[in-house]
């Protein structure tokens, strides 16, 4: 596989969302390709960090408020 394709597949690889053969093919490429391996390691580290961020409790009205503001912005752009 080419590096561009490998990098596109990394999120699914991290989630183990492949057949055993596909997973092994990507793992083999990562063993052989330092550039892709570094990309994998950086992505894995980022995902691990994001998974450990606590969720915020926001009021129920938050979504409604955001949507109204988005509508206002959209109306201004379409002016």
The predicted-structure confidence for 37-52, as pLDDT tens digits, reads as follows 999 999 999 999 999 9
Q: How far apart are alpha carbons 8 and 27 in whole angstroms?
A: 14
Q: What is the mean pLDDT of residues 49-61?
A: 89
Has this prediction a pTM greater than 0.85?
A: no
Q: Report residue 29's pLDDT band, with 50, 70 and 90 as the boundaries.
A: very high
Average pLDDT over all residues of the chain = 92
Task: Give the count of domains, the chain.
Answer: 1
The predicted-structure confidence for 7-25, as pLDDT tens digits, reads as follows 999 999 999 999 999 999 9
What residues make up the domain containing 23? 3-78
- With beta carbons less than 8 A apart as the criterion, state whether 28 and 60 touch: no
Q: How far apart are alpha carbons 38 and 41 in whole angstroms?
A: 5
First-to-last C-alpha distance (Å) of the chain: 48
* CATH code of the domain containing 33: 1.10.10
Q: How far apart are alpha carbons 72 and 56 in whole angstroms?
A: 25
């Amino acid at each position: 596989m080419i590096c561009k394709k490998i990098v596109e597949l990394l999120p699914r690889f991290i989630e183990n969302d492949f057949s055993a053969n596909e997973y092994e093919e990507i793992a083999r490429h990562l063993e052989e390709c330092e550039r892709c391996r570094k990309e994998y390691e950086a992505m894995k580290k980022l995902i691990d960090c994001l998974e450990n961020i606590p969720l915020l409790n926001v009021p129920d009205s938050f979504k409604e408020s955001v949507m109204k503001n988005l509508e206002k912005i959209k109306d201004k752009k379409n002016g």
